[in-house]
Chain A
Amino acid sequence: MVGEDFAAQLAAAQGGSENAFAVLWRDANPALLRYLRVVAPEHAEDVAAETWVQVVRGLPRFSGDEAAWRAWLFTTARRRLLDQARLRKRHPAEPLDEISAADMPRTAGADQIAMENIATESAMALLSRLPEQQAEVILLRVVAGLDTDVVADMLGRSPGSVRVAAHRGLRKLATLLSGAGVTL
């Protein structure tokens, strides 16, 4: 979260400051990718890019606090996600040939980076085992930092149903963790 400097950073970004916009982007983009990698793992990068392009175009007209900023960002991502789903339904893409892990390009610190981020990757993998609605609600609440009412507004559901879905997801996550003996 940006915190108290959010308003200043937003105003600077709306005035054309690249540094201010970089601050906003570095704060929100990881959460956005984590959300998208759980909800749409195959097209997370593409949807994230389209989301940011649209946000950049609408940035001068945006007004609100950091919660509203995040709500706007994830709402835009979700709409782009639905558009992608419709597009894939009309024009299904043929998958490319699978490349084995040994053939994947590697960088010097790839192994180290993977070890450092294994907890995050494991948590996202665990959330992927939850029902989609429960996982999405938990991600929006935890990763995006949105409250129940905002998430309910985004999903078009009541706050009570959003709360129930989130609790059910947490219980199931606990069951999964206790039964599988997973240690994050």
Chain B
Amino acid sequence: MPDSFLPTAWGTPPFDERDLEALLSGEAADIPVALRQVAEALTALRAAPMFAELRGEATIMAEFRALAEFRALGLREASRPGGLARTLELPVAPSALAPRRVARHRGRRRRNGRLLSRPAAVVMGAAAAAVIVAAVTLAVVEMPGHNHHLVLSSATSSAGAHPSSHGSTSPNLAARGATPARTPTPTPAPGPSPKQSIASRLCTEYYGNFVHPQPRSEWSAEFAIFRQLSERAGSPFRVFSYCKPYIASLFPHGYPWASQQQRSSHQAAAGSSGQGSHGQGAPSGAPQPSPSASSSPGQGNQGGQQGSQP
């Protein structure tokens, strides 16, 4: 015998799709018996809120209040990216609001960098110019045929160790030759060269003062001429020997500072030879008359000039 007398058809579900949809919609009427427990469970899901479910109200209300205040201030809520993250806006200093400096181009910065190094370039240029000038000066001075130093004649020139040279074209310039020991003797040429004409003029002018003494006011001019002749002769003591070939015509009766013995002998020789007293008979290598040994006015004049020399 079977354990149960109930028919097998009683086990079929007593609800359909409409009953299920009614449960989902919350309709509580005509609920099948098989779905009553399910209906009770869904009702529990719709029950009143539990205490824990209302616990976060303060937090969300604070957030809502903050957003409301931001909107009231007219601030964009976009300034608060990231949800709860907030951006604190600090007061901006007026200097920060000033317009930015215009960005300079890299090329402009480079050009300024070059400007910063300009003093160094100027110094280097000046040094280069000085070197070039010095090189040109040396080249001009040491040109072939001009192996001498051009110096301005001055009163500070020493009386000795200045061999004369005949390379100077100006009476104010003295040439210092490379052979100081030798006394240059102008050689009479058929035609007077410019150098000879200058020497003749200076010598004639200077020793002409012996023939025709000038007033004291003219002594400065005589001293200037003597200084030039001293430089040309190489020494003040060689001026006479240097000028002897040019001044013989000035003293037809002998040199005024020559001794009476020499003058007489010179005149006797001139009379015997019949050549006149042009002085040219005096040998160039004859002993030069010492200015200090003479007592003529010309000597005194010369001595006075020598005394004025430094």
Contact = CB atoms under 8 A, between A and B. Distances in A.
Interface in A62-100: none
A33 B24 contact: no
Nearest to A180: B37
B84 interface: yes
Contacts of A26: 49, 54, 57
Candidate in A18, A113, A183, A184 with the most chain B CB atoms within 10 angstroms: A184
Given A60-B71, A174-B35, A184-B37, A22 B57 contact: yes
Given A52-B63, A142-B26, A184 B57 contact: no
A124 B54 contact: no
B211 interface: no
Nearest to B78: A57
Interface string A104-123: 00000100010011011011
For this complex, into which size category does the number of interface residues on chain B fall?
35 or more
A50 interface: yes
Given A30-B49, A53-B83, A142 B60 contact: no
A7 interface: no
Interface in B59-84: 59-61, 63-65, 67-68, 71-72, 77, 83-84
A177 B41 contact: yes
Contacts of A178: 34, 37
B64 A142 contact: no
Given A29-B53, A56-B67, A183 B26 contact: no
Interface in B28-54: 34-35, 37-38, 40-42, 44-54
Contacts, number: 120
A184 B68 contact: no
A54 B41 CA distance: 31
A77 to B, nearest CB: 13
Contact of A30 (B21, B53, B71): B53
B54 A167 contact: no
Interface residues of A, number: 48
Contacts of B45: 34, 120, 123-124, 127, 139, 142-143
Contact of A123 (B23, B41, B50): B41
Contacts of B258: none
A34 B41 contact: no
A27 B298 CA distance: 147
Contacts of A16: 68, 71-72
Contacts of A174: 34-35, 37-38
Contacts of B54: 26, 29-30
A131 to B, nearest CB: 16
B17 interface: yes
6 contacts: A52-B63, A53-B83, A56-B64, A119-B40, A123-B41, A174-B35
Given A53-B83, A113-B50, A166-B24, 15 more contacts: A22-B61, A26-B49, A30-B48, A34-B45, A50-B83, A52-B60, A53-B63, A57-B83, A113-B52, A117-B50, A119-B40, A120-B44, A141-B24, A143-B46, A184-B40
For the complex of A and B, 9 pairs with smallest distance between CB atoms? A30-B49, A123-B44, A30-B53, A177-B37, A119-B44, A16-B68, A123-B41, A184-B40, A117-B50
